[in-house]
Amino acid sequence: MKNRDGIQVVMTPDPSTIERDEPISEAYQLLRRAPFHHLVVTENDEAVGVLATSDILRLVYDVDGSEERSLSTYLDHQFTIDDAMSVDLRSLPLTATVRDAAAMLSDGSYHSVVVVDEKGKLAGIVTTTDLARYLRDEL
């Protein structure tokens, strides 16, 4: 395992995003069909939060036996993306290393870290799954 691999080795460049003012059902549908579990929430092209599948599932935990259409309607009438997203955004610069990402994610409080370029613009995302795959491939 290389001790100083750059974060680009594990990050997903140009991650999927959703605008903060979009209906939450849009995020739900996107995450439901996607092979990933995190969306970066943006406002005016700036990362302002992260929305995970589990964040949405927590909102609808008590909605039992709903069909897809009524669940989306319920989400949009009861919640916004702000209600579900994590705003305590963890970020690292493009100059960070895999070790930096692992250190940030290792306490278990967060499952993703946003990667930003030198201008603070979104460049990528690293998740705990990305780190696990990196480790698998290095062993």
Q: What predicted TM-score, i.e. pTM, was given to this entire model?
A: 0.83
For the segment 67-123, what is each residue's pLDDT rounded down to a tens digit?
666 778 888 888 999 999 988 889 999 999 999 999 999 988 889 999 999 998 999
Structural domain for 17, as ranges: 7-138
CATH code for position 129:
3.10.580.10
**41 assigned to some structural domain:** yes
In a domain, 1, yes or no: no
Q: Could you tell me which residues come within 8 angstroms of residue 39 by beta carbon, excluding any fewer than 6 positions away?
A: 15, 16, 17, 18, 27, 30, 31, 50, 51, 52
Flag whether 66 is in a domain: yes
- Residues comprising the chain, all counted: 139
Query: In this structure, is residue 128 part of a structural domain?
Result: yes
Structural domains counted in the chain: 1
Q: Is residue 96 part of a domain?
A: yes
Cα three-residue angle 15-59-54, rounded to 5 degrees = 40
28-75 tens-digit pLDDT: 999 989 999 999 999 988 899 999 988 888 887 655 555 666 778 888
pLDDT in tens, 20-30: 999 999 999 99
